[in-house]
């Protein structure tokens, strides 16, 4: 601030003013002079020239002025000389200046003006300004400039704005005089532009008295320095110190640069007093210190004062440098960091490591979420936003960074609000279900009902379907078909043995290797928010050590709760209400009750031989053949072979084993064909011909897809290739086997390509699988434990059981252990559960009562210790349906009578002999058929269940429905009781 003020004071060495010609030349060199030059206007030099002659009270004549002008020019020529002569002032002394004994007093508010320096001031007082202009016109451009004293009581070091300046402008006459320092400078007014007046200092003055009030005019004494000895050592030393300090300051301080040139040019010319004035004038010292220098007439003391000022200046300059350096260091440190970071980025980009870059990462996440922004719930958007900010703040190598990155990855990848269009077209669904599965009409009907309700309601949510049944009956594949029919994505996960709740609910993010739960993983993998999720083996849910998987699953499935399903990892609620859940189970009794409550059970009991034949023929065989790349005309599996396979190898309820066996057969056939030299390259040409035919028929644009997918069509197209009747005949002649069935369907469709193909086929023998050579393909039939006896011996009766694997038949055998008066007892073996053990005890008691009634003299139960066994002892058995079988077995032994041939029964007996209903009628019936049972006994309460069965299941069975054990007794031991045959 102070320095700026100093610079604004437009400082010039006095010699320019003293030598106008030189000044004019200098004007071109110094920018500041140029400025002043413009202020002066074109007449500047003339004025300067005249100034030598005129002062305010000058009465010199024009001729004198001209002489003075010439003299001034002479002075210029002898510049050095003039300067050295003018030892008392910077401006060469002129007689006219000496005559200026009464001058207008101008107040200087900021600094005193030193001789030889310019200073612009602003004159607000119009009257004063006018007088100054007049004076200049009268070629008397002189005035006195005096520093204004501070008002009493104010601190000169405190800046208070322009208040004091204002008050000075208002002061007049004596009041103003009082506020002026006595010692000032005689100034020449070099230019007036508006209210700006440029002053050039000439010599020191002292006010003696006031002459006029307005404008304030004062009488002055011209001051001269005290005489001194130029060669005084102390004086010299002091001046040298001033010079070296000045040099130092000018070198270090950038603010003083303007003065450097002047200094360098004129320092040699300066005498001691001018050196002192120069130092004080260019220093940033406060006005009072400067005034002190101005007032000092002792040259040595003046030099010393100046030295103090500029020494102080140097300290300030050093401080300024230190500050500048510190700031520069800070800035350059930041810059360096920035630069290195930029370089690092560039290097990473170059090395292809950019993906790890935070910005690239967040750009990726932002791009992902940008696409979903409209559908994404606001609370999720907010979390993503927060996490993105967090990501930017974290160190890329920190573990929290990778946690946040993974979290954002999951959050942004989920299909927020992205739904596939649901298809509620019942006909379309029917088509798809039939396409994928044979039979199961009741199951399909239930599914269609479900879809119909969905159509009417506009949504299929809110219900959980549970498909129950033995393994391999098609539960999973039906689930897949439902998804296809509804046009939903399909996702399957098994909860069998699941004990960790985190599998469903996810881990908390803070764990190492934390993962979200299955549902979130599902949504990520399917990419839609309304998939069909198949939860497999829900009856085998494990027991958790911490937390109950069943309740976690309930939270997931319950339509009330899953609108806001909260995964621990994701930590934001997700809406699962649009997800359609389908569960599968083998035994519904094992499903936790709260879950079972919310489910709609659709039971699939298993297949009878006839159904298995169809499934094998129309689905399994076809798929397997395609999977093995075998053409229909290259192979034939006869009905007899299939039947043998089903009856002797695959007697379980489902068809998975059957599928395996068929695969086994086809793999063997494939090997055989290849050994014969067949290579079935994919027949592109024939396929494309078929495609173009189809699409040209204009049916639909998706014809190609349909054909590629639909095995039936593909078969047909292959069949089309073997339609040449001639070659067909040849086929029949050459090969001793029947022609492929499909050929008959495509007769008449002649195709030359097909003929060529067929010619190739001719050479190979068609592989025929018949019941006679079935063993070659699938090995010997496995031993069937279900039918041990052709005719059951005394004490052995066939019962019907229902297990997770479907229905099955089992024998119950009783034999005598030892006889003795009152030794009647019962020993049990065969891995029986508690329920069955109790059943056996009850049977023992009820059997005894029945025998007492039928043969009152028979003491068998009282005297014989019995052993009851259920074969296949390695399989644990339990269930409340073997009671009547056990009684019958004991009675048979007691009476020494075998039961009726091909009879099987099921039902639990109370102590009073009443028969209780059982479950799994269909499964048991199917199992009985498999074991070639002809007569069946069911509890009367189960008649309705039986009646609902498909007629092909009931066909040919003699079924009895009984209320009491007495009826069973009659049926088993006397075959003349009333019967009912379906």
Residues that bind ligand ADP (CB under 6 A): 437-440, 471-477, 584, 615, 619, 655-656, 659
Whether the link from the prior residue into 3 is cis, omega within 30° of 0, is: no
Query: Using CA atoms, how far apart are residues 317 and 255, in angstroms rounded to an integer?
Result: 9
Burial of 194 (0-12, 13-18, 19+ CB in 10 A): exposed
Query: Pairing relation of β-strands 635-637 and 935-939?
Result: unpaired
Collapse the DSSP code of 115 into the 3-class scheme (helix H, G, I; strand E, B; otherwise coil) and give the result: coil
Q: Are 464 and 601 in contact (CB under 8 A)?
A: no
Closer by beta carbon to ligand ADP, 617 or else 867: 617
- What sign does the CA torsion over 6, 7, 10, 14 have? positive
Structure tokens given for 502: 């985190």
Collapse the DSSP code of 132 into the 3-class scheme (helix H, G, I; strand E, B; otherwise coil) and give the result: helix
Specify which residues 104 forms β-bridges with. Answer: 217
Widest Cα–Cα separation across the chain: 183
Instruction: Give me the residue label for tokens 């405190």.
Output: 158
For 875-887, give the secondary structure using H, E and C. CCECCCCCHHHHH
Residues counted in the chain: 982
Task: Return all residues near 979 (Cβ < 8 A) that are at least 6 apart.
Answer: 935, 958, 960, 971
Provide the minimum distance between the beta carbon of 646 and ligand ADP in the complex, in angstroms, as a whole number. Answer: 13
In DSSP notation, 314-329 reads: HHHHHHHHHHHHHHHH
Closer by beta carbon to ligand ADP, 54 or else 649: 649
Provide the minimum distance between the beta carbon of 467 and ligand ADP in the complex, in angstroms, as a whole number. Answer: 7
Burial of 642 (0-12, 13-18, 19+ CB in 10 A): buried
Closer by beta carbon to ligand ADP, 316 or else 653: 653
Query: Using CA atoms, how far apart are residues 266 and 274, in angstroms rounded to an integer?
Result: 11
Provide the minimum distance between the beta carbon of 366 and ligand ADP in the complex, in angstroms, as a whole number. Answer: 43
Supply the Cα-derived Rg of the chain in whole angstroms.
Answer: 60
Query: Using CA atoms, how far apart are residues 18 and 40, in angstroms rounded to an integer?
Result: 16
Provide the minimum distance between the beta carbon of 753 and ligand ADP in the complex, in angstroms, as a whole number. Answer: 32
Taking each helix axis from N to C end, the angle separating 44-51 and 20-29, rounded to the nearest 10 degrees, works out to 150
Structure tokens given for 956: 């040919």
Closer by beta carbon to ligand ADP, 441 or else 974: 441
Provide the minimum distance between the beta carbon of 901 and ligand ADP in the complex, in angstroms, as a whole number. Answer: 33
Task: Return all residues near 260 (Cβ < 8 A) that are at least 6 apart.
Answer: 250
Provide the minimum distance between the beta carbon of 477 and ligand ADP in the complex, in angstroms, as a whole number. Answer: 4
Closer by beta carbon to ligand ADP, 438 or else 938: 438
Closer by beta carbon to ligand ADP, 522 or else 662: 662
Burial of 870 (0-12, 13-18, 19+ CB in 10 A): buried
Collapse the DSSP code of 905 into the 3-class scheme (helix H, G, I; strand E, B; otherwise coil) and give the result: strand
Provide the minimum distance between the beta carbon of 537 and ligand ADP in the complex, in angstroms, as a whole number. Answer: 9
881 as an active site residue: the answer is: yes
Closer by beta carbon to ligand ADP, 245 or else 586: 586
Instruction: Spot the catalytic one: 191, 239, 283, 881.
Output: 881
Provide the minimum distance between the beta carbon of 656 and ligand ADP in the complex, in angstroms, as a whole number. Answer: 5
How many Cα neighbours within 13 Å face the side chain of 821? 0
Provide the minimum distance between the beta carbon of 384 and ligand ADP in the complex, in angstroms, as a whole number. Answer: 39
User: Cα-flanking dihedrals φ and ψ of residue 636, to 5°?
Assistant: -150, 125
Instruction: Give me the residue label for tokens 């059982």.
Output: 918
Closer by beta carbon to ligand ADP, 474 or else 913: 474
Cα angle at 274 between 271 and 276, to 5 degrees? 110
Instruction: Give me the residue label for tokens 């010299």.
Output: 236
Query: Using CA atoms, how far apart are residues 361 and 358, in angstroms rounded to an integer?
Result: 5
Closer by beta carbon to ligand ADP, 490 or else 619: 619
Provide the minimum distance between the beta carbon of 511 and ligand ADP in the complex, in angstroms, as a whole number. Answer: 34
Closer by beta carbon to ligand ADP, 238 or else 476: 476
Closer by beta carbon to ligand ADP, 60 or else 588: 588
Query: Pairing relation of β-strands 903-905 and 864-869?
Result: unpaired
Collapse the DSSP code of 789 into the 3-class scheme (helix H, G, I; strand E, B; otherwise coil) and give the result: coil
Collapse the DSSP code of 915 into the 3-class scheme (helix H, G, I; strand E, B; otherwise coil) and give the result: strand
Which of 900, 937, 913 is closest to 851 using CA atoms?
Answer: 913
Provide the minimum distance between the beta carbon of 607 and ligand ADP in the complex, in angstroms, as a whole number. Answer: 7
Specify which residues 99 forms β-bridges with. Answer: none
Query: Using CA atoms, how far apart are residues 753 and 751, in angstroms rounded to an integer?
Result: 5
Closer by beta carbon to ligand ADP, 622 or else 787: 622
* Percentage helix, strand, coil for the chain under 3-state DSSP, each rounded to 5: 50, 15, 35
Provide the minimum distance between the beta carbon of 653 and ligand ADP in the complex, in angstroms, as a whole number. Answer: 10
Provide the minimum distance between the beta carbon of 440 and ligand ADP in the complex, in angstroms, as a whole number. Answer: 5
71 as an active site residue: the answer is: no
Which of 44, 42, 43 is closest to 12 using CA atoms?
Answer: 44
Query: Using CA atoms, how far apart are residues 923 and 808, in angstroms rounded to an integer?
Result: 8
Instruction: Spot the catalytic one: 253, 924, 931, 954.
Output: 924
Closer by beta carbon to ligand ADP, 471 or else 531: 471
- What sign does the CA torsion over 887, 889, 895, 901 have? positive
| Active site members | 881, 924
């Amino acid at each position: 601030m102070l320095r700026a003020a100093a610079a604004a004071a437009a400082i010039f060495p006095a010699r320019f003013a003293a030598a106008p010609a030189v000044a004019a030349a200098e004007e071109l060199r110094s920018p500041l002079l140029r400025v002043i030059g413009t202020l002066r206007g074109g007449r500047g030099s003339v004025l300067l020239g005249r100034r030598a002659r005129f002062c305010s009270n000058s009465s010199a004549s024009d001729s004198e002025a001209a002489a003075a002008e010439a003299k001034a020019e002479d002075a210029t020529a002898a510049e050095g000389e003039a300067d050295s002569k003018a030892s008392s002032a910077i401006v060469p002394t002129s007689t006219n200046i000496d005559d200026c004994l009464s001058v207008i007093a101008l107040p200087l508010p900021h600094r005193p003006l030193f001789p030889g320096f310019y200073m612009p001031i602003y004159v607000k007082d119009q009257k004063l300004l006018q007088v100054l202009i007049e004076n200049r016109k009268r070629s008397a451009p002189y005035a006195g400039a005096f520093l204004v004293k501070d008002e009493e009581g104010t601190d000169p070091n405190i800046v208070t704005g322009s208040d004091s300046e204002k008050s000075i402008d208002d002061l007049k006459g004596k009041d103003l005089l009082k506020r002026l320092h006595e010692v000032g400078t005689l100034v020449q007014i070099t230019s007036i532009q508006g209210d700006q007046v440029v002053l050039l200092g000439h010599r020191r003055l002292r006010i003696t008295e006031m002459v006029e009030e307005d404008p304030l005019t004062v009488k002055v004494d011209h001051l001269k320095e005290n005489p001194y000895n130029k060669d005084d050592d102390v004086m010299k030393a002091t001046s040298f110190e001033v010079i070296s300090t000045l040099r130092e300051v000018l070198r270090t301080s950038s603010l003083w640069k303007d003065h450097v040139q002047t200094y360098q040019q004129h320092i040699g010319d300066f005498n001691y007093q001018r050196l002192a004035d120069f130092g004080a004038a260019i220093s940033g010292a406060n006005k009072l210190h400067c005034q002190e220098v101005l007032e000092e007439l002792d040259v040595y003391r003046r030099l010393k004062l100046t030295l103090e000022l500029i020494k102080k200046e140097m300290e300030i300059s050093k401080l300024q440098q230190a500050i500048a350096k510190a700031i520069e260091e800070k800035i350059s440190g930041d810059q360096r960091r920035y630069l290195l970071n930029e370089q690092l980025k560039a290097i990473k980009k170059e090395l292809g490591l950019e993906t790890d870059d935070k910005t690239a990462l967040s750009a990726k996440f932002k791009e992902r979420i940008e696409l979903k922004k409209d559908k994404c719930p606001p609370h999720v958007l907010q979390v993503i936003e927060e996490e993105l900010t967090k990501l930017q703040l974290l160190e890329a190598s920190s573990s929290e960074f990778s946690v946040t990155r993974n979290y954002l990855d999951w959050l942004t990848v989920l299909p927020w609000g992205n739904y596939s269009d649901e298809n509620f077209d019942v006909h379309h669904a029917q088509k798809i279900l039939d396409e994928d599965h044979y039979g199961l009409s009741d199951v399909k009907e239930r599914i269609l009902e479900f879809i119909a309700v969905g159509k009417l309601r506009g949504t299929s949510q809110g219900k959980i379907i549970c498909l129950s049944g033995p393994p391999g009956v098609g539960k999973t594949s039906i689930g897949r078909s439902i998804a296809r029919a509804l046009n939903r994505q399909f996702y399957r996960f098994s909860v069998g043995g699941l004990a960790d709740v985190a599998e469903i609910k996810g881990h908390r993010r803070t764990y190492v290797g934390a993962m979200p739960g299955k549902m979130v993983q599902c949504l990520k993998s399917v990419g839609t928010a309304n998939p069909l999720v198949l939860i497999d083996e829900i009856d085998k849910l494990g027991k958790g050590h911490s937390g109950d998987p069943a309740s976690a699953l309930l939270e997931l499935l319950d339509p009330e709760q899953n609108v806001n399903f909260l995964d621990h990892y994701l930590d934001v609620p997700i809406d699962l209400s649009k997800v359609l859940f389908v569960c599968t189970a083998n035994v519904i009794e094992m499903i936790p009750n709260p879950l079972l409550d919310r489910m709609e059970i659709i039971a699939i009991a298993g297949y009878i031989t006839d159904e298995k034949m169809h499934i094998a023929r129309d689905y399994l065989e076809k798929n397997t053949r395609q999977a093995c790349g075998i053409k229909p005309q290259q192979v034939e599996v006869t009905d007899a072979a299939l039947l043998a396979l089903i009856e002797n190898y695959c007697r379980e309820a489902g068809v998975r084993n059957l599928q395996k066996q068929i695969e086994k057969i086809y793999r063997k056939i494939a090997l055989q064909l290849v050994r014969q030299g067949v290579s079935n390259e994919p027949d592109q040409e024939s396929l494309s011909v078929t495609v173009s035919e189809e699409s040209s028929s204009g049916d639909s644009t998706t014809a190609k897809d349909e054909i590629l997918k639909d095995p039936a069509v593909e078969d047909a197209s292959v069949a089309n290739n073997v339609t040449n009747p001639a070659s067909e005949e040849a086929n029949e002649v050459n090969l001793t086997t029947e022609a492929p069935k499909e050929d008959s369907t495509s007769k008449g469709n002649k195709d030359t390509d097909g003929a060529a193909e067929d010619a190739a086929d001719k050479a190979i023998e068609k592989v025929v699988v018949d019941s006679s050579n079935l063993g070659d393909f699938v090995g010997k039939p496995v031993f069937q434990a279900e039918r041990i006896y052709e005719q059951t011996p005394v004490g052995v009766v066939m019962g019907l059981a229902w297990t997770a694997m479907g229905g099955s038949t089992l024998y119950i055998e009783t034999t005598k252990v030892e006889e003795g008066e009152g030794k009647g007892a019962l020993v049990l073996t065969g891995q029986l559960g508690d329920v069955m053990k109790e059943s056996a005890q009850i049977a023992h008691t009820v059997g005894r009562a029945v025998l007492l009634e039928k043969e009152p003299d028979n003491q068998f139960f009282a005297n014989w210790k019995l052993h009851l066994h259920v074969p296949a002892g390695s399989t644990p058995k339990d269930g409340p349906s073997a009671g009547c079988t056990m009684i019958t077995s004991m009675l048979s032994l007691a009476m020494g009578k075998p039961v009726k041939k091909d009879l099987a029964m099921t039902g639990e007996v109370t102590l009073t002999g009443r028969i209780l209903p059982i479950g799994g009628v269909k499964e048991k019936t199917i199992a009985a058929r498999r074991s070639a049972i002809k007569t069946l006994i069911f509890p009367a309460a189960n008649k309705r269940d039986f009646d609902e069965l498909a007629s092909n299941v009931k066909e040919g069975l003699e079924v009895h429905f009984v209320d009491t054990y007495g009826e069973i007794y009659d049926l088993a031991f006397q075959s003349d009781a009333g019967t009912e045959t379906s």
